[in-house]
Structure 1
Amino acid sequence: METTAENDTRALVLHPDITSDPDRRDAAYALEEAVSLAHALPGLAIVGAETVRLAKPQPGKLFGKGKIEELGARIAADEVGLVLIDGPVTPVQQRNLERAWKTKLLDRTGLILEIFSDRAATREGVLQVEMAALSYQRTRLVRAWTHLERQR
């Protein structure tokens, strides 16, 4: 799609179009909106955007095995450093996709928090963004330190 600077992080934007979702949005509009959100974050070069049609999300990895492999090949070929998924991604899905693709992944909430963090100007604004980010990250840290528990 476009590159801006050589040291920018190369990003791929994915919009999961879940056909079984009764509240689903128009896929083309949603993808365009997601790309616009990604452009709002400095230091990103959007190298591609794609709508991925799904009957329903897979609990462990969001996408099916074939689509994960297909996207993994594209991510490797385009040297993508960040995958942006326009929608909610569970902590388990995020971990599994990051391992499969060997790259960082952000969902829509994470992207919006990054934008707010970048643009917060006042001390109060910075604190509000930090509180929201900590609340968001709290669910992703469950069982992260279990290796330090005592054996029973």
Structure 2
Amino acid sequence: MGKKLLWVVFLIFIGCKGVSQEEKKETEKEETAYAVTKTDAEWRAELTDMEYYVLRKAATENAFTSDLLDNKEKGTYVCAACATPLFRSEYKFKSGTGWPSFDREIEGNVGYSVDYKIGVARTEEHCATCGGHLGHVFNDGPRNTTGKRHCINGVALDFIPDAN
């Protein structure tokens, strides 16, 4: 009787392991074709260590370290990797988070994807021209404009002042 019970339990255990429970493994990572593409070595040669770490490896710079955080000049914030215009100075606001924040992007120049790196879904932002990681967008921005807070790594940006 004990052997039969053991066999029944064994068969039930094997029968419960279906294909639906197997983890699906991605064999190929889907790559987006960007207008500006370079090898990893080319990016490393062109970017500073911190720019490379943030833009190409999707890292986050330390809060309150960006030279652009308190910039109040009129102009355009461009991608530090490819110079694509991303944000205008009039879209910038003081969020108190420690990163340059904007309530909107220059339409068509910023791409979006979902990021689960901290265990919850966040909307990641990247340069639509070269794919460089910029930061994340949240729904806690100024209610009197878009309600969005584009929380951007300052090292991912260069600033071009308006001509006077």
TM-score by length of 2: 0.27
TM-score by length of 1: 0.28
More helix by share: 1
Q: Say which one has the larger Rg.
A: 2
More strand by share: 2
